[in-house]
Structure 1
Amino acid sequence: MNLYQISLLLLISIFYLTYIAKQILLKRRGIDGTRLARGNKPRGTFLIEALLLAGTYGMAAVQYASILLDERLGLLFPQDWIRIVGAAAVFLGVCFFVTAVIIMRDSWRAGVEEDQNTRIVTAGVYRISRNPAFVGFDLMYLGTALAFSNLAAILGAAFVILLLHLQILQEEKLLPGIFGQEYLDYCKRTRRYL
């Protein structure tokens, strides 16, 4: 394994370990941080969340396989500059995600329900994006697709990025009812992505 592979293995591991650690910390505080495909939700929302859950786990497997097998899986874009841009996107994605998770504190949830006990967060990275954790996911998946441009990484990234967008749209339907005018004002001054 070369330095490139080791660096990306470390970055992607930091990403997923951050997610797991956040869930463990929330659970210790009595907070169920994972609401994806659980609870009483409209069928369309449930389906999107179930596909997103499966896609996220699938992409983690694709990412690790892509790193460990690298060029043996075949690179559709073998140019060094594309691979470097991909690695930079993974790095930025991890930074966005970790920052978002830290700033959200106890209000972090994967999936939204109307009866959740959270507060709206608009500070830090949430000043430039209403969904910085999703931006982190998108950048990480896009970066992996460029860094290890095998067919599974490219198709998986496209699929999960689409599902993340659909998840955001589902959440945006519920959030005005949860946070009211404060959320609507936040939407006026802060973009969905960047």
Structure 2
Amino acid sequence: MPSLSLLSAAIMGGYLAAFLYLTVRSAQAAGQPVWLFGLGNRQGLSALLFRVVFAGGFLYPAAVLAAGFEPVHEIVALPFPMRVGGLLLALAGALFGIYAQHYMGASWRIGSVEGHSGAIVDTGPFRRSRNPVFVGQVAMFAGFLLARPDLIQFALVAAITLAVWLQVRIEEKVLVRDPGEPYQAYRQKVPRWL
């Protein structure tokens, strides 16, 4: 059976490849850039946290594989079935996040700036959550923490949770102004998370 580190790196690598592919496809469909982090609204901290988390999510298990040993001691000993369950949660989170991103199509944005919002998507996974991509991402990292319960994975979960919380606050402020009423109606019907 492949090692948990190999499977973690494969899940994260697959997620990142799909994320980038769908981002390029969305930019082509929208006919405009969808990477908005550099355009303002105090998104610098959340942008930095997302970059660190996703780089760490891939590089950490790859480094463990390359080193051939566990570089960080685990904070709790979990039985093997719970670790496998963690990887299944990570895979489910990755697949759900990619599905939700795919579902957004031309409305997909990375960051949020007034005047650059896509149309409100309120069907599919967006009928149950206003932020299903973020729900999937947090679930993915929570699964990695169960698979490898150490301080680095704990820090990655804390960082993704903070990044998501900061970014959602920014995005909601932008969407209240742009597009305004359609978002307000959507916000009344659908919860922020689940």
TMscore range, shorter length: 0.7 to 0.9
Instruction: Tell me the amino acid that sits aligned with residue 32 of structure 1.
Output: P
Which TM-score applies when normalising by structure 2?
0.85
Query: Which segment drifts farther, 4-13 or 84-93?
Result: 4-13
Counterpart CA distance in 2 for 1:138 and 1:180 is 27
Residue of structure 1 in register with 2:159 after alignment = 159
Q: How far does the alpha carbon of each residue in 1:2-47 deviate from its partner, in whole angstroms, 9 at most, with x for none?
A: 26444433322221111111222234454312112x01x24x4333
| RMSD (Å), alpha carbons | 2.4
- Identity percentage over the alignment? 24
Q: How far does the alpha carbon of each residue in 1:103-126 deviate from its partner, in whole angstroms, 9 at most, with x for none?
A: 101111110010115100011011
In structure 2, do the counterparts of structure 1 residues 144 and 66 end up closer, same or farther at CA, with 3 Å as the change threshold?
farther
Instruction: Tell me the amino acid that sits aligned with residue 156 of structure 1.
Output: L
Could you tell me which runs of 5 or more consecutive residues in structure 2 were left unpaired when the two chains were aligned: none
By how many angstroms is 1:72 displaced? 1.6
Counterpart CA distance in 2 for 1:66 and 1:141 is 17
Instruction: Tell me the amino acid that sits aligned with residue 51 of structure 1.
Output: L
CA contact (8 A) 2:128 2:191 kept: yes
Matched, 1:138 2:138: yes
In structure 2, do the counterparts of structure 1 residues 136 and 69 end up closer, same or farther at CA, with 3 Å as the change threshold?
farther
Counterpart CA distance in 1 for 2:151 and 2:88 is 20
By how many angstroms is 1:181 displaced? 1.9
Q: How far does the alpha carbon of each residue in 1:78-130 deviate from its partner, in whole angstroms, 9 at most, with x for none?
A: 32233133112202211211111111011111100101151000110111111
Could you tell me which runs of 5 or more consecutive residues in structure 1 were left unpaired when the two chains were aligned: none
Which TM-score applies when normalising by structure 1?
0.85
Query: Which segment drifts farther, 121-130 or 147-156?
Result: 147-156
